[in-house]
Amino acid sequence: MTTLLRPHTSTLLRLIVELKGAGMATNLVFLEVIGERDPRTLVAELEELEELGLVAFAAASEQWTPTFAGLTVGLSLPAYDPAEVLLDDDDECAA
């Protein structure tokens, strides 16, 4: 299975995997605060992950959960680092 993720989306997947593994919440508000993301960007990234079949939304608990494929991909990514500065594509080109 080859899945190409944008850098921001891959860090979000890893964050969801780590939070679920620790038994913590993965709702929109928590992901927005912990992941330090703009709400619109967060929703777009979650939709991308859902379209790829890497996460699913549990409506009853309002939580995002990694699928088996999401766990496989997410666990192979580097650990989530909240101190890491996330650059936009334009910022990466300018650097």
Per-10-residue mean pLDDT, the chain, length 95: 66 91 93 89 94 94 94 81 57 48
- At 86 the pLDDT is 53
At 61, the amino acid letter reads S
- What value does the CA radius of gyration of the chain take, rounded to a whole number of Å? 13
- At 52 the pLDDT is 93
- Helices 39-51 and 7-21 cross at an angle (nearest 10°) of 80
71: Cβ contacts below 8 Å, ≥ 6 apart: 17
- At 17 the pLDDT is 92
CATH code for the domain defined by 7-94? 1.10.10.10
- At 41 the pLDDT is 92
Is the separation of the CB atoms in 54 and 48 below 8 Å? no
- At 6 the pLDDT is 74
Give the span between the Cα atoms of 60 and 75, in whole angstroms: 26
